[in-house]
Structure 1
Amino acid sequence: MDRAELAAFLRSRRERITPADVGLPAGARRRTPGLRREEVAQLAFISPEYYARLEQSRAPRPSAEVLSGLARALRLSDAERAHLHHLAGAPPAPRGPSREVRPSILDLIQRLPQAAATVISAGFDILAWNDLAAALLEDFSAVPPRERNLVRRAFLGPHRDGQILYGVSDLDDFALHSAQRLRATAARYPDDPAVASLVRDLLAGSPRFRELWESHDVTDEPTLRKTFQHPTVGPITVNCDVLDIADRDQRVVIYTAVPGSPSEEALRLLSVIGTQRMVGSR
């Protein structure tokens, strides 16, 4: 534990936050910028005396619960949270799967006009997508965030146009591998409420998921090709490539069709019509 560096880091993070940032009244006669020590202590659910000792390099090593409270109160980024744990001499405990997509990744998927691309969290939440992905799968902007989850969609629905998971050809394989991958995710992020809630819902609502979950398997085999039964343009067979974003525990999933194939023509048509249904389609 580096008490002096920890104290300096806490002071610097405290001084950059205004009371308005955390919903506190500004008040008067603030001698220093940012929050007062007692305000940070209140937000972190620790005693003002203990927090003062931390900033004076006199406190014992803080517990994981205290570090979590400080990170929340001081609005630390993932990198700052890891640094806080390092200064305190404690390994950083992951809060949960990152749900923030880097701007460069958002730009990347928009630069793939002939490919459908999504960014998926470790918990199978759809975090970002390009226009062709919305046309091939669904318009995720019109779906509540809680429902933008592929495992929830696969096992619990709702299903667009009566199709289970977009009419995908490898549903059984996806169900198996997603349950296995979700088990590994739940082990990595045991304190994440969203992952825990998803698992509870799946166990309660899907006997098939419950069967797969109870197998305790955690392997994950990629699917290299699949076919979507699209309600407007019919079957579309695509190659499926996955790029791992290791630092955020996310994946970029890219669907492309073989050049010159009917599926490539179908994707081109989808890029034109977008998420709108063609007249007379079902």
Structure 2
Amino acid sequence: MNRDQLAEFLRSRRARVSPADVGLPSGERRRTPGLRRQEIAQLAGMSIDYYIRLEQGRGPHPSRQVLNALARALMLTQDERAYLFDLAGQPLEAPSIRENVPGSVLHLLAFLEEVPTYVLNARYDILAWNPMANVLMGDLDSRPPEDKNVIRWVFMSPDIAEHLNDEEKGRFARASVADLRAALGRYPDDRRMRALVAEMLALSPEFAELWSRHEVEIRREQRKRVTHPLVGVIDMICQVMPVPDRDDLRLVLYTTEPGSPSHQALRELRQLTMS
């Protein structure tokens, strides 16, 4: 159980819920945003003293019944609820991060000849990719392992502006940090993930600011605009699909609208992989 992180998360989510959200009068002047501790305790059906101890990082192990009550009172999303259970040492599942990519997934990468596709683990390390992903993302084949981490690339790469404009980068950065926080909740004992977070907190003020928001959301589908040095702007749909029976791995595919200029741009990139 991570008491400090649990306390921070509860405080941050309580500040987000307004009295109107839960049917309470809001005309009364309030010194702090969101609900009071007493109000959350009442909504969750627990004593105010018990809830205060949780927010102060000195409470006992909350039961699954208590966590479910808190999730309802704080109006948590499905992803945030799973993160709450992870922090409290009551994970909905007990996954682990492995480094190998199943052979069937490698075969799928090879089959998707016209679709840039790669395999991402929970730490945002790119573990495998097809030729289209290689040419789209800038020669993954020649990069050392530490340069194949998407979090490092987004927050630390000096050439990120050549690929994503400020709006695109900001949206992707926020989504990635929220997703990484969810992953750390699932794998709290993964030293490499904790080291990555510590590294980014020390080196990137932007990452640190986003991390302090305690936002939690698993990445799924997202639209993305990338500027490629050879074919120009490409508008793509980034689809993030979990690998069956491997919760630590996801398949990331970039598709375009059929017949669009972006579709044609990807076809031009396809020619580069064949030359």
Code of the residue aligned with 2:152 in structure 1: it is R
Alignment check: 8 A CA contact 1:241 1:253 kept: yes
Q: How has the CA–CA distance of structure 1 residues 165 and 181 changed in structure 2, closer, same or farther, with 3 Å as cutoff?
A: farther
Shift of 1:246: 4.8
Alignment check: 8 A CA contact 1:153 1:165 kept: no
Code of the residue aligned with 1:187 in structure 2: it is G
| Partner of residue 227 from structure 1, selected from 225, 228, 233 | 225
Match of 2:239?
241
Match of 1:259?
258
Q: How has the CA–CA distance of structure 1 residues 217 and 210 changed in structure 2, closer, same or farther, with 3 Å as cutoff?
A: same
Q: Aligned ranges for residues 82-161 of structure 1 at < 5 Å?
A: 96-157=96-157, 159=158
Q: How has the CA–CA distance of structure 1 residues 112 and 243 changed in structure 2, closer, same or farther, with 3 Å as cutoff?
A: same
Q: Aligned ranges for residues 205-216 of structure 1 at < 5 Å?
A: 205-216=203-214
Q: How has the CA–CA distance of structure 1 residues 220 and 243 changed in structure 2, closer, same or farther, with 3 Å as cutoff?
A: closer
Shift of 1:221: 5.2
Alignment check: 8 A CA contact 1:139 1:275 kept: no
Code of the residue aligned with 2:262 in structure 1: it is S
CA offset digits 1:120-149 (Å, max 9, x no partner)? 111111111100011111211211111211
Alignment check: 8 A CA contact 2:223 2:237 kept: yes
Shift of 1:170: 2.3
| Partner of residue 192 from structure 2, selected from 191, 194, 207 | 194
Code of the residue aligned with 2:160 in structure 1: it is Q
Counterpart CA distance in 1 for 2:183 and 2:264 is 37
Alignment check: 8 A CA contact 1:227 1:237 kept: yes
Match of 2:19?
none
3-state secondary structure, aligned to 2:245: helix
Q: How has the CA–CA distance of structure 1 residues 112 and 184 changed in structure 2, closer, same or farther, with 3 Å as cutoff?
A: same
Alignment check: 8 A CA contact 1:109 1:130 kept: yes
Shift of 1:198: 0.7
Alignment check: 8 A CA contact 1:186 1:196 kept: yes
Code of the residue aligned with 2:155 in structure 1: it is F
Alignment check: 8 A CA contact 2:237 2:256 kept: yes
Pairing 1:166–2:163 present? yes
Shift of 1:156: 1.2
TM-score, structure 2 as length reference: 0.61
Match of 1:204?
202
CA offset digits 1:201-224 (Å, max 9, x no partner)? 100011111111111121235443
Q: How has the CA–CA distance of structure 1 residues 187 and 251 changed in structure 2, closer, same or farther, with 3 Å as cutoff?
A: same
Match of 1:180?
178
TM-score, structure 1 as length reference: 0.59
Which blocks of at least 5 consecutive residues in structure 1 are unaligned?
1-91, 277-282
Counterpart CA distance in 1 for 2:162 and 2:178 is 18
Alignment check: 8 A CA contact 1:167 1:230 kept: no
RMSD: 2.3
Code of the residue aligned with 1:271 in structure 2: it is R
Match of 2:71?
none
Match of 2:269?
270
Alignment check: 8 A CA contact 2:162 2:227 kept: no
CA offset digits 1:79-124 (Å, max 9, x no partner)? xxxxxxxxxxxxx965x52221111001101111111101111111
Match of 1:54?
none
Max radius of gyration: which structure? 1
Code of the residue aligned with 2:120 in structure 1: it is I
Counterpart CA distance in 2 for 1:140 and 1:98 is 21
Alignment check: 8 A CA contact 1:122 1:185 kept: yes
Percent same amino acid at aligned positions?
Answer: 39
Code of the residue aligned with 2:268 in structure 1: it is L
